[in-house]
Amino acid sequence: MFRAMLLKEFLLLLRDRHALAALFIMPSIFILIMSLALKDTLGSDRVLSTYVVVDQDNTVQSGRLQSFLSENSALEEHELTLTNVAKQQQALNETLHFVLSIPQGFAQNLGQEQSDPALLQLTVAADVKQEVLTFFQAELTKGIMRLRLEKMQEELAPFLPEVAQQLEAMDFDGDGLVTVHFNGMEASKQPTSTQQSVPSWIVFGMFFVIIPMSTVFINERRQNTLMRMSAMNISVPVLFAGKIVPYMLINQIQVWLMIAVGIFVVPLFGGDALTLGDSISGLFMVSLGLSLAAIGTSVLIAVMTATVEQATTIGGIINILLGAIGGIMVPKFYMPQAMQDFANVSPMSWGLEGFLDIFLRGLGAEAVILESLALAGFGAGLLLLAGIIFSSKLRRGV
Amino acid sequence: MIFIKNLVKQYGKHVALDHINLSVGKGAILGLLGPNGAGKTTLLSILNGLIDFQEGEITIFGMPLNGELQAIRKRSSFIPQSLALYDKLTIIENLRFFAGIQKISGNTLRHNIDYALTVNRLHPLRDQKAATLSGGQKRRLNIAIGLLNNPELLYFDEPTAGIDPESRNAILETIRFFKNEGKTVVYTSHYMPEIEKICDDVAIIDHGRIIRQGSLTTMLQENEGDSAVIELLHASKTQLDQFASKYAGVEVVDAATLMTSSLDAKQMGMLLSALEAENIAVKQIRYGTTNLESLFLSLTSQGSCDV
């Protein structure tokens, strides 16, 4: 009996090009686009800010400060070609983040305990993010500290040559001072945009079963095929099982297809390849839980709506809302705390956290038990509700 | 075969079936007639265990419907009015699916599919998608699906609605074939000539009550005598409706037929004169005969031929 139901659902799906596009092509394209679009955002060697230097001091020290800044690949110095203030301001609004002015007397004032006016002047574009400004300020402070140390070293060298040598040997390279280790990853590895994007769009894509599933279900109900099956001794639980099993398989095909896109296709376009975590069982647990949640939502929508148009509209809206709330469209770490807390109401967020545990944080099956159970419980609850409504409608002949 | 005693079905305060008593013998073809909303579909749905009922007793194949529904369903089949099939599947895929969910397999599956295709003349189209079939071919596929469990009892809910005369005749032939095979059929239709052609027994249902039932031949004989059927040339339904509204005892059967009851010779003369005055030419008048349509109209007081 299940074989017949399974075959029927697969045949109906394979002959529905729109459903195939919604289930397989659209999420694959999303993965590709978002992995490439976010590549620079999450990469360590990307340019964070652009600046020009107006050096009015023209000393060795002011030159050294500029060379310190240029050592950092996250900072990109533009040539100073803009001499008048109006043009500088225009450039700040369009291409530059900062104009750094090194006033005359910079080198002279370096050694003073307190400097008034300040050693450096920074003009900042109005749209610069606070964290970029903080980062640039920190780099400048670090540069000034290095110059001050060099000055101290020069002054100490005739009297305390050993101390001066120690000062000279000091390492200011960030990698040498601080070792960064991303939790759950190998020492030299870091999260990539692909690791972040693939889980998000897998979750989103899985919920797109709402459209083909509710379309088939509503057509069956409208054409009385479900009623006919009921007259052929097919009970509501069996009828629902006949839907759940094939779409769970379809969801699993989706998951592995999208993982394959992350592993094999994204690198072809210059993106980072997806790496699987160590827990395939955890991956299955989350994907099965997500599948049940998506199917439960689909069946409930199909049971509660009267037409295919209603189901696809409502289903589409629910999918996008759950995605927006759950951190699919905008990663949760970009959200303010209140929104991050609110994101937890979306089952997509539970699924995403589960997948991130596996793909990004390198955790095992035990770490995703809670998310998997919550998703499965959510799906089972919706299916139960759908079953009650559907049985009631069937008995009333609605 | 089917025995219904004091069946009551209510939707809230609305009584859909009011103490229905009905019996259908083995091998009989029962025509179930009634206006829209009379309770025909409700009755078929109850007989197939699709909706509950409040009171009464139903026995099918000697088994109580409430206790032995699954066993009864295995031996019966419901062919709904709507085309309950999958447009995107081929004929053979549709048949395999509906057989599969009834757990029919092996030689029985092959035999029953072959039987369903043969009886409905669908063999040459077996690999064609249902979406590409004509209305009549889809109706035949709808029936073929109902034959997969080789049922002894078949319920047809208006199987010829909306199809061409050729396809209708093919379906009627199929139903006659079932009779020859000894199957029992409960049949509803919008076309009363169909019922006259294929049914042995008739039950007329109106406002949830059976108002007449029995052998079709007996029923027609009992109602002979005081009626006349006037066949007309060149008239329109609207024109006839307007005409009939002026005369008591005159009913419009269709665009070319009027039916009268209890008119004496003088009244008939006046009626014919009135028709002439309206430029409606009379083709022929048949006295003392009746058909199912006129009987139905006289019993249910329906102005339309909706059955």
Q: Which two tokens stand for residue A123?
A: 């003009």
A304: contact with B, CB 8 A cutoff: no
pLDDT by residue (tens digit) across A91-133? 676 778 888 889 988 888 887 777 677 788 898 988 888 888 9
A8: contact with B, CB 8 A cutoff: yes
When pLDDT is averaged across residues B229-235 and rounded to a whole number, the result is 79
pLDDT by residue (tens digit) across A366-394? 989 999 999 999 999 999 999 999 988 87
Tell me the HSE value of B140 on the side-chain side, using a 13 A CA sphere: 28
Q: Is residue A356 part of a domain?
A: yes
Q: Which two tokens stand for residue A146?
A: 């290095």
Domain count, chain A: 2
Q: Is residue A183 part of a domain?
A: no
When pLDDT is averaged across residues A209-225 and rounded to a whole number, the result is 90
By residue range, what is the domain housing residue A96?
47-177
pLDDT for A248 equals 92
- Tell me, yes or no, whether A201 and A312 share the same domain: yes
From the candidates A2, A221, A225, A394, which should be mutated to test the interface with B, based on the most B CB atoms within 10 A?
A225
pLDDT at A212 over 50: yes
CB–CB of B84 and A224 under 8 A? yes
In single-letter form, the type of residue at position B234 comes to H
- Tell me, yes or no, whether A196 and A322 share the same domain: yes
- Tell me, yes or no, whether A223 and A297 share the same domain: yes
- Tell me, yes or no, whether A9 and A81 share the same domain: no
Q: Which of A1, A228, A394 sits opposite B103 (nearest CB)?
A: A1
Name the average pLDDT for chain B: 86
pLDDT by residue (tens digit) across A327-340? 888 877 778 888 88
Query: Coil, strand or helix: which one is A47?
Result: coil
Q: Is residue A342 part of a domain?
A: yes
- Tell me, yes or no, whether A196 and A317 share the same domain: yes
Q: Which two tokens stand for residue B43?
A: 């009755």
Q: Is residue A290 part of a domain?
A: yes
CB–CB of B145 and A4 under 8 A? no
Q: Which of A152, A177, A202 is the last residue of a domain?
A: A177
- Tell me, yes or no, whether A111 and A251 share the same domain: no
Q: Which two tokens stand for residue B288?
A: 């003392």
Contacts of A197 (CB under 8 A, 6+ apart): A30, A31, A34, A35, A38, A262
- Neighbour count for residue B165 (Cβ, 10 Å): 9
CA distance A312 to A19: 11
- Neighbour count for residue A129 (Cβ, 10 Å): 11
Q: Which of B70, B84, B97 sits opposite A233 (nearest CB)?
A: B70
When pLDDT is averaged across residues B131-160 and rounded to a whole number, the result is 93
- Tell me, yes or no, whether A10 and A136 share the same domain: no
Name the average pLDDT for chain A: 85
Q: Which of B152, B175, B148 is nearest to B85 (CA)?
A: B148
Q: Which of A149, A177, A205 is the last residue of a domain?
A: A177
Contacts of A228 in chain B (CB under 8 A): 78, 80, 84, 98, 145
- Tell me, yes or no, whether A51 and A37 share the same domain: no
Q: Which of A11, A16, A232 sits opposite B102 (nearest CB)?
A: A232
- Tell me, yes or no, whether A162 and A275 share the same domain: no
CB–CB of B49 and A5 under 8 A? no
Q: Is residue A284 part of a domain?
A: yes
Q: Is residue A266 part of a domain?
A: yes
pLDDT for B22 equals 92
- Tell me, yes or no, whether A69 and A33 share the same domain: no
pLDDT for A40 equals 63
pLDDT for B151 equals 95
CATH number at residue A166: 3.40.190.10
Q: Which of A109, A143, A177 is the last residue of a domain?
A: A177
Q: Which of residues 87-126 of B touch A (CB under 8 A)?
A: 88-89, 93, 96-103
pLDDT for B73 equals 94
B303 pLDDT band (50/70/90 cuts)?
A: very low
Contact (CB, 8 A) for A224 and A25:
no
Contacts of B40 (CB under 8 A, 6+ apart): B32, B33, B34, B157, B188, B205
- Tell me, yes or no, whether A202 and A332 share the same domain: yes
Query: Coil, strand or helix: which one is A270?
Result: coil
Please report the domains of chain B, with CATH numbers, ordered by start residue: 2-215 (3.40.50.300), 225-289 (3.30.70)
pLDDT at A310 over 60: yes
Q: Is residue A184 part of a domain?
A: no
CB–CB of B98 and A16 under 8 A? no
pLDDT at B273 over 80: yes
- Tell me, yes or no, whether A210 and A135 share the same domain: no
